[in-house]
Amino acid sequence: MGKSEEIFKKLRQAVISGETEECAKVTQAAIDAGIDPMKVLTEGMSKAMEVVGEKFENKEYFLPEMLLSAEAMYAGLELLLPLLKADETEVKEKIVLGVVEGDIHDIGKNIVKAMLTSAGYEVIDLGVDVPASEFVKKASEEEVGVIAMSTMMTPTLMSIKDVEEQLAKKGLKGKVKTIIGGGTVTEQWRSRIGSDAFGKDATDAVDKVKLLIEEIKTAVKLMEKKRKERTRKK
């Protein structure tokens, strides 16, 4: 086993068992050893969070265990992020994320944020109790492809609908894709209010975001192709 692989394994272990200090220590060791920070993220954090997601699905892990893993991951990520930004060549996909208006429960949102970040996305976190207009404004300002919204409460399901309505009004529906999730959100609710995807848990949310971004890319390619064809015809 190579030295890097040994460090990655230690790092994964620290994230999976939710050891914050250990995770920071191992990440620093990886940086000091000159390992590519992007590899530390993909081989260490991402893989570990995938395992955590699986454990949650299999009912080995519950919220407390998952939150500690997320906390540990962030401790390492904080050290990595400045280095990642420096040698970034490819533009990362941006996602706007927040808990909808009227709800301050950010437990699910934080877990999804951890998973998305570890999967390599740039997450713009709007926090909790976010008005519909704020989601829409941020999404157009930052030119993001995906808005991710969550709520834990039943009454605030209506606030997700408000965001969909505002997107429609601004003619952004379809251009900006939406994914929703949280304690009370269901696939039925998604289809009723016309969101683009429903993440049943954090792992599922990451998979669905990947799909949404692929859809956007395909749509953009198609549009470009059509434009080229048109110019050729001229």
Partner 1 sequence: MNPYERLMTVLSGGKRDVDRLPVWCSTRTVTLDAMKIFGAYWPQAHRDPEKMAKLAAGVYELTGNENVSVPFDMTMEAEALGAPCEYFEGKIKWISVKQFIATDIYEMQIPEAPSEFVERGRIPVSIKAIKQLKKKYGGRVPVVGIVNCPFTSVGSYVISPVEFHKYMIKEPERIHRIYKTLNPHYAAVANAFKEAGADVIVFTEEGASLNNISPRHFGEFVKPHLTQLIGMTEPPRVLHICGSLISKSLEIITSMIDCGAEAITIDERTSMSEARKITDEHRPDYVIGGNLDPYNGIHGSSPDVIRDRVKRVIEQGTDMVCPGCDYWLETPTEHIRAFVDAAVKYGQTAKEKNEDKSIT
Residues of the shown chain interacting with partner 1 in the complex, contacts defined by CB under 8 A: 18, 58-59, 62-65, 67-68, 71, 102-107, 110, 129, 152-156, 183, 186, 188-189, 192
Rounded to 5 degrees, φ, ψ at 23 are -65, -45
User: Judged by CB, which is closer to partner 1: 114, or 179?
Assistant: 114
Contact 177, 197 (CB under 8 A): yes
User: Judged by CB, which is closer to partner 1: 129, or 215?
Assistant: 129
Nearest to 119 by CA among 127, 130, 111: 111
Q: SS3 string of 58-97?
A: CCCCCHHHHHHHHHHHHHHHHHHHHHHHHCCCCCCCEEEE
User: Judged by CB, which is closer to partner 1: 188, or 231?
Assistant: 188
Which amino acid appears at position 110 of this protein?
A: N
Question: Minimum distance from CB of 188 to partner 1 (Å)?
Answer: 5
Question: Minimum distance from CB of 156 to partner 1 (Å)?
Answer: 8
Question: Minimum distance from CB of 145 to partner 1 (Å)?
Answer: 27
Question: Minimum distance from CB of 105 to partner 1 (Å)?
Answer: 6
User: Judged by CB, which is closer to partner 1: 13, or 140?
Assistant: 13
Alpha-carbon span 128 to 147, nearest angstrom: 14
